[in-house]
Structures are given as structure tokens and as C-alpha cells.
């Protein structure tokens, strides 16, 4: 609301959309916190002991976000990592069709869901661009990260935190479960210029290019004054790994490899929204050569290699990779 006041032309719609996402986050957080107690763990489609169909937590999160935004008239299309195609938002009256596009990863870090390790929700908001009225289209979703009007994540960790940017810095809110509200706990988060940590799944070492092996070796062992040796931390939940590095300084890498030449992570649901947050906090994010935010997507579920975090560390990786 403070930032909205800096824009006299603002209608409040974006703030309200962020509130809608906060509501979804609270519902998902409640479910994540009770995950071991309720029948939300396990395979989607499995029958639980009561003979009811179990709902997997990531499907629950997908539905919760979607239902929190689709009746508000604020969004024209949503796209989720859980769905193959974008979901156009139908409205009875064309004049009430929303002006925003919402892309989201409902529950990132799925391999950690069933083992009680931090997971997160990632969101990316664009203005509609390809269509003017009625439901939005695939083209509305395929915009460069640089065009985002807001992005952020909700981390279900030792506490539940919302971290977001609208292009005026990065702000963190912690959910106070006693009053059910997100309270501003981390205003104006800044990413340290040089990181303490490097985060990468080193089990893929043999599949990386020689250039990437040199980058990771330099972060591990140091490189004659150009970069100091770092400590390793890898949770395997992107949101949690990025959040730690954002707060403490560090670089996260998910490179392309011989088995996944485009990398693993999704440009629109993971890399671009997190890149916007990290850049706004003073860090950087590249695919090896280009800024993530400058990549024009051609597919909804497009993948990208990702190197993201403290600015000097990302620049170091980029310069080493440029040497081949
Ligand atoms: P997951 O496969 O558990 O859903 O995007 C997916 C993601 O997790 C990221 O959250 C995480 O950083 C990465 O993949 C982990 O991949 P590896 O298991 O290959 O390390």
C-alpha cells in the first residue's frame, strides 16, 4: 500500500491481486503445516483409508491459487507448472476481464514435500499484452521476465514468509499464525555482493561442460584471488536455496548438462520470477551468457539453465564460461 501511494495512477488492482495471493498462501501454509496429520501426502489419485480420493499437496496448491484469483476480475489468464496449457479466465462481461496475467509454480521442491523439508510457491505477474479484452491467451503468458510487474515467492520454512518485488526493492513479510496476517519483517532486502555459499547438485558433475566444472571447482576451492572458496549448501528446493542465498549471500547453479541440454528449471515459473526478485535486491541471474530477464520465451514450459545470486559471483561464473 505504501508503494501504491507513490503511483497516483495506480488503481489498487495489483495490491488486491497480491492480497489474493496472500490468501492462497495462508491456505496452502495451513495445509503444509498439517501435512503429516491429514491425508495430503502421497500419490495423487490414491485412495486413502476412508476410501476417499487423496489430494496431493501440489495439486491442492495449484487449485488454491487458481481459485483465489479466478473470480476476482483481476486476471485474464493463469498458467501453472502443474497444467500443460494456460487457463483462460472466463468472464460474463468482457469489460470485467482482468488486466493481469498470473504464472505460478504452486509447490516448488516436490521431492521435499513428503519428507518435511522447506518448499515454496513462486509467482510471476505480467500485464496482458497480446489481447485487449475477454480471456487472455498463450501469447499473454510468453513475455520477457523484464516485463513483469511483480514477482515473488512464499517459503514454507521454519516460518512462512512472503518475499516479493514490484520493481521497488524486495520486501519480506512473515506470517504471524496467531493473527493470520503477513507482517513486514524484512523491508528492503539486499543481496550481499559476494556470497558465502555455493549451491548446486554436484551429483551431475560428470554431465557438465568443462567450463561449468571449472566454475564449480572455483567456488569450491577458490581461484587465485578472483574468488574465495565458499561453503556448500544444497536443499534441493529452489525457493529455499535462493532465499538462503538472498539473505546470507551465495550463488545457486542449475546448469545444463548432457542429459538435460536446456537445464531443468522452468523459465516462466521459476527462473524469471526469482531473477526479478534477486536483481531487485542487487544480485544477478543468467543462463550462462544472457540475463534471464532478457530471454523471450517461445514455450510455456520452456526450461533454462540458471546461475543466480550474489552479483560478483554470477559475474565471475559468466566470465569463466565465456572462456569456453
Ligand atoms: P523438485 O524436482 O524436487 O521439484 O524445480 C524443481 C526442483 O525441485 C527445484 O525446486 C530444485 O531446486 C531442483 O528441482 C532439484 O533438482 P535435483 O534433484 O536435480 O537437484
Q: What is the pLDDT of residues 197-237, one digit of tens each?
A: 999 999 999 999 999 999 999 999 999 889 999 999 999 99
Probe ligand 1: pick from 58, 80, 110, max atoms within 8 Å of CB?
Answer: 110
Q: Whose CA is closest to atom 7 on ligand 1?
A: 109
pLDDT of residue 134: 87
167 lines ligand 1 (CB under 6 A): no
Residue 274 Cα to ligand 1 midpoint, Å, equals: 14
Q: Whose CA is closest to atom 12 on ligand 1?
A: 238
pLDDT of residue 43: 58
Distance (Å) of CA 166 to CA 151, 170, 177, 259, 281: 7, 8, 25, 36, 12
**One pLDDT digit (tens) per residue for the chain, 324 residues:** 776 666 666 678 899 999 999 999 999 999 998 877 665 555 555 544 434 444 588 899 999 999 999 988 999 999 999 999 999 998 776 666 799 999 999 999 988 888 889 999 999 999 999 888 889 999 999 999 999 999 999 999 999 999 999 999 999 999 999 999 999 999 999 999 999 999 999 999 999 999 999 999 999 999 988 999 999 999 999 999 999 999 999 999 999 999 999 999 999 999 999 999 999 999 999 999 999 999 999 999 999 999 999 999 999 999 999 997
Residue 128 Cα to ligand 1 midpoint, Å, equals: 29
Query: Could you please report the per-residue DSSP string of 215-227?
Result: HHHHHHH-BTTTB
C-alpha span between 97 and 72 (Å, rounded) = 9
Residue 235 Cα to ligand 1 midpoint, Å, equals: 9
C-alpha span between 199 and 209 (Å, rounded) = 17
Query: Could you please report the per-residue DSSP string of 30-71?
Result: HHHHTTTTTTTSS-TT-B-TTSPBP--HHHHHHHHHHHHHTT
pLDDT of residue 40: 54
Residue 238 Cα to ligand 1 midpoint, Å, equals: 6
Amino acid at each position: 500500500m505504501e508503494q501504491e501511494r507513490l503511483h497516483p495512477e495506480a488503481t489498487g488492482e495489483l495490491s488486491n491481486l497480491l492480497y489474493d495471493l496472500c490468501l492462497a498462501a495462508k491456505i496452502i501454509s495451513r495445509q503444509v503445516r498439517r501435512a503429516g496429520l491429514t491425508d495430503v501426502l502421497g500419490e495423487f489419485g490414491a485412495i486413502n483409508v476412508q476410501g476417499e480420493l487423496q489430494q496431493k499437496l501440489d495439486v491442492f496448491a495449484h487449485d488454491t491459487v487458481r481459485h483465489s484469483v479466478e473470480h476476482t476480475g483481476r486476471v485474464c489468464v493463469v498458467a501453472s507448472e502443474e497444467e500443460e496449457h494456460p487457463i483462460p479466465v472466463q468472464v460474463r462481461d468482457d469489460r470485467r476481464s482482468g488486466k493481469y496475467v498470473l504464472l505460478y509454480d504452486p509447490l516448488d521442491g516436490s521431492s521435499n514435500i513428503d519428507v518435511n523439508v522447506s518448499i515454496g510457491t513462486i509467482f510471476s505477474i505480467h500485464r496482458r499484452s497480446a489481447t485487449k479484452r475477454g480471456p487472455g491467451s498463450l501469447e499473454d503468458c510468453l513475455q520477457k521476465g523484464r516485463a513483469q510487474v511483480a514477482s515473488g515467492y512464499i517459503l514454507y520454512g521454519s516460518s512462512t514468509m512472503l518475499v516479493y518485488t514490484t520493481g521497488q526493492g524486495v520486501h519480506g513479510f512473515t506470517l504471524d499464525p496467531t493473527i493470520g496476517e503477513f507482517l513486514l519483517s524484512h523491508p528492503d532486502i539486499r543481496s550481499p555482493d559476494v556470497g558465502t555459499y555455493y549451491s548446486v547438485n554436484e551429483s551431475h558433475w560428470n554431465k557438465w561442460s568443462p567450463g561449468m566444472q571449472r566454475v564449480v571447482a572455483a567456488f569450491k576451492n577458490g581461484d587465485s584471488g578472483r574468488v574465495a572458496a565458499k561453503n556448500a549448501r544444497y536443499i534441493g528446493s529452489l525457493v529455499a536455496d535462493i532465499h538462503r542465498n538472498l539473505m546470507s549471500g551465495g550463488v545457486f547453479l542449475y546448469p545444463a548438462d548432457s542429459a538435460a541440454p536446456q537445464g531443468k528449471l522452468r523459465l516462466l515459473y521459476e527462473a524469471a520470477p526469482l531473477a526479478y526478485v534477486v536483481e531487485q535486491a542487487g544480485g544477478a541471474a543468467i543462463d550462462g551468457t544472457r540475463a534471464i530477464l532478457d530471454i523471450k520465451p517461445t514455450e510455456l514450459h520452456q526450461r533454462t539453465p540458471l546461475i543466480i545470486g550474489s552479483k560478483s559471483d554470477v559475474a565471475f561464473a559468466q566470465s569463466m564460461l565465456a572462456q569456453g
